[in-house]
Amino acid sequence: MLLVVPPALAQEKAGAADQPAYGTMADLLENESSRNALIEELRTLQAARTADAPAPDASADKAPVEGAAPPERIAEQSPSGQRPEEVSFARRMATTTGHMLANVGDQFTALGVALGGIFGVDAAEADTGGMASVDSQALGAAAINVAILVIATFVVFFILRAIAKPSFRGLSGWAVRGSEKFAMLRTIVAVAVAAFVDVVVVALAYLAGGAVSSALVNNVDADATRLALFLNAFLVVELFKAGLRMLFSSGYEGLRLVPVSADQASYCNRFLANLAGFIGYGMLVLVPVLNFNLSPSLGSAVGTIIMLLALIYAVIVILKKRKVLRDRLFERAERTTGPGRVLLRLLGRLWHVLALGYAFLVFAVTVINPDTALPFVASATLLTLVYAGAGMLISVILTQLIGKEIRFSERFNQSMPRLQARVNTYVPTGLKVVRALILILVVVLTLDAWEVYDLAAWYATEAGVAMVGAILDILLILLVAAAVWIGLASLLEHKFSPREGADPAAAARSETLLGLFHTALAIALIIMTVMIVLSEIGIDIAPLIAGAGVLGLAIGFGAQKLVQDVITGVFIQLENAINTGDFVSAGGNSGTVERVGIRSVALRDLSGTYHIVPFSSVGAVSNYTREYGNHVGEYGIAYRESIDDAITQLEAAFEELKEGPMKDNILAPMTVAGVTALADSSVNIRVVIKASPGMQWAVGRAYNRLVKKYFDQAGIEIPFPHTTLYFGEDKDGKAPPAYIKVLNDERVVDTQDGKGNDPAG
């Protein structure tokens, strides 16, 4: 900042090497009469300069501007002739640091001068910086008045705190009792009520102090301004301490928001309360009193000393507790998984660096520009703590409310067996997303509090409104998509999940259909969600939809057979035509089904050959193992046999079959259909035996064995094919001789003489 020094001030500081008398200027501006005189003098100088100004000419552009910094000053600021914004960060930092150290030195010098003036040093020997003369008697009376106000206010405050203790104790006990699920919610309610009581106590003590202040002003003519300074400082500091008690309540476990032990809470509360009281009462009471009654230089120097002592105290505590807090954070990191573990370990290693940096930052801005920087830092710090605390509270509440395992009833789990697992998978994932969004929001609001950018101004723009609206729309879209997926997937499971006691074939079919529809539903939801999200963020999805349509059409033409396989397979599965383990005939092949897919079915026939039959080639499906199977047997007897006797033997064979190993596979009594044919060499009788699915062939084989056994015992002939031999005839009608040997009696018959002579003699 470049200053135009009036001649009157320049004469007061002659020989000061072109440095303006900053202290004298500040004193003049603080005093109303001198400030008005300075303003009049400046207006007079401006009027004279305007009257004496020469006519402009071509050389005026090159003439030095009156009131501007001299060339040597400009060279000092930027030796290379750079503009301020072009100067490097390191040089700007060095300049700022140099100014801060110079200000500290000037303030300590002013403190020495002011103290010399107080203790009787002649004003001619030392410049007191405009320090007013000290009236010891008035100063003592003012100190007594302030002391009375302080004692009265704090006595009332401590009495009210003692009265409120039972309510604090009751709220703490209520917060620690009850279910763990709502523990944090009860704690927040109890802390809010306790904070309200605490604020009421502070407010009542403040009002009591105000009454005492009014009495002092009216009765002993005390300075109302000094008393008001203390009351304001009391209100600010004690409200800040009330906020600390919300976080680090040492005496009441249920009223402590930060999860630390009582000893740790007591230490943190004491450390921060000491800093708040020392800085608050010092900067809000002592420094203004010194500025107004003695000297602004003395007040500024005392303020610097207060902040320096607070800095030293904070640095000592931070370094002393560095390892303790680091170990605590490491222990917490061991119980955490994911990115949170890495962040906690990193914070454990660097927390003291951040804390020291913040402490030095507060001290630096206080020294450089205490009037504006310190209130800004205090406000930004308070907002940061509020945002971070609110984010942590919301996160903890969500964790306690929905972060635990969700359980459904057994009946509900039977109808939707995967819903509980799905919900317990998605809820923690959604909770992590909410935590991440809370963290991002806290960071955004914190940066806005430190004026890294103006969030309100950005949101007032069209881009800000559009971006916030798009983010909210996207979150709503994702939430609706997740809800639709959970609902429809659960409905599919309710429809296709195998019931308790279902056979393996039905279970396999259900799993196949469930996987098919899950996949189709997931693909459809993902595509729709992605398209809508892209549309929300401003991407034109019309070309994407058109391209997808063309691509789908091309794939449809190029893969007609594949599409037909899939569609036919879906309907075959829906109609429950084929299950794993069935014996079927499909696409010209018969065998046991070993695999049912979306596109094809795999069969293994009796010879062990493995067939893969695409569903598009399946015109009809013949399933031999559905519900039951029939053994249909036709048994032929000779024409000379009695049909009724044969049926009696067939029934006797069935009775023995029912008592044998196959009894569990026979589902109904045998049905005798009767005579089905009068064949060339036999009379055929049909019977039907109902058997378990897939066991009809085994039942038939066992029954055939018994039929042969019973027919043989009864002497019933089962005809078999006969062969007639013809030896031909001559012209006379005579047949050639033929010799027949009967093996049982070893006789040979001569067909010519018919005497039966034995050729052996």
Q: Is 81 left (phi over 0), alpha (psi -120 to 50) or beta?
A: left
Compute the radius of gyration of the chain from its Cα atoms: 53
* C-alpha torsion sign, points 262, 266, 267, 271: positive
Answer for the pair 716, 641: CB distance below 8 angstroms, yes or no.
yes
pLDDT for res 241: 87
Using CA atoms, how far apart are residues 251 and 171, in angstroms rounded to an integer?
A: 12
pLDDT for res 128: 42
- Helix residue ranges per DSSP H, 537-589: 542-558, 560-574
Beta bridge partners of 685: 635, 675
pLDDT for res 170: 87
DSSP-derived secondary structure letter, 666: B
Q: What are phi and psi of 690, to 5 degrees?
A: -85, 125
Mean pLDDT value across residues 551-574: 72
Using CA atoms, how far apart are residues 147 and 143, in angstroms rounded to an integer?
A: 6
Q: What's the pLDDT band for 405 if we cut at 50, 70, 90?
A: low
Give 127-160 pLDDT, tens digit per residue: 444 444 555 676 677 788 888 888 999 999 999 9
pLDDT for res 155: 92
Structure tokens at 65: 């501007």
Answer for the pair 676, 684: CB distance below 8 angstroms, yes or no.
yes
pTM: 0.53
Coil, strand or helix at 624: coil
* DSSP assignment of 576-613: T---TT-EEEETTEEEEEEEE-SSEEEEE-TT--EEEE
pLDDT for res 501: 63
366 pLDDT above the threshold of 70: yes
Using CA atoms, how far apart are residues 454 and 238, in angstroms rounded to an integer?
A: 31
Coil, strand or helix at 502: coil
Mean pLDDT value across residues 242-248: 83
pLDDT for res 558: 65
Task: Please give the share of the chain, as a percent, with pLDDT higher than 90.
Answer: 10
Reduced to 3 DSSP states, what percent helix, strand and coil does the chain have, rounded to the nearest 5?
A: 65, 10, 25
Strand pairing report for 671-678 and 600-604: unpaired
Mean pLDDT of the chain, nearest integer = 75
Q: What's the pLDDT band for 305 if we cut at 50, 70, 90?
A: confident
Give 201-231 pLDDT, tens digit per residue: 999 998 988 888 888 888 877 778 878 888 8
- In sequence order, the 6+-apart residues with CB closer than 8 A to the CB of 596 are 508, 509, 512, 573, 578, 579, 580, 602
CA distances from 660 to 204, 702, 706 (A): 100, 9, 11
Using CA atoms, how far apart are residues 186 and 114, in angstroms rounded to an integer?
A: 56
Look at 423-427, 467-471, 744-748 and tell me which has the smallest mean pLDDT. Answer: 744-748
pLDDT for res 204: 92
Higher-confidence residue: 672 or 732? Answer: 672
CA distances from 260 to 172, 324, 376 (A): 15, 13, 30
Q: What's the pLDDT band for 652 if we cut at 50, 70, 90?
A: very high
Q: What's the pLDDT band for 387 if we cut at 50, 70, 90?
A: confident
Higher-confidence residue: 226 or 413? Answer: 226
703 pLDDT above the threshold of 90: yes
Using CA atoms, how far apart are residues 318 and 492, in angstroms rounded to an integer?
A: 59
457 pLDDT above the threshold of 70: yes
Q: What's the pLDDT band for 752 if we cut at 50, 70, 90?
A: very low
Higher-confidence residue: 525 or 119? Answer: 525
pLDDT for res 124: 40
Give 62-88 pLDDT, tens digit per residue: 444 444 444 444 334 444 444 444 444
Coil, strand or helix at 282: helix
Look at 7-11, 598-602, 650-654, 737-741 and tell me which has the smallest mean pLDDT. Answer: 7-11
Q: What's the pLDDT band for 343 if we cut at 50, 70, 90?
A: confident
Q: What's the pLDDT band for 756 if we cut at 50, 70, 90?
A: very low
pLDDT for res 71: 41
* C-alpha torsion sign, points 65, 71, 77, 81: positive
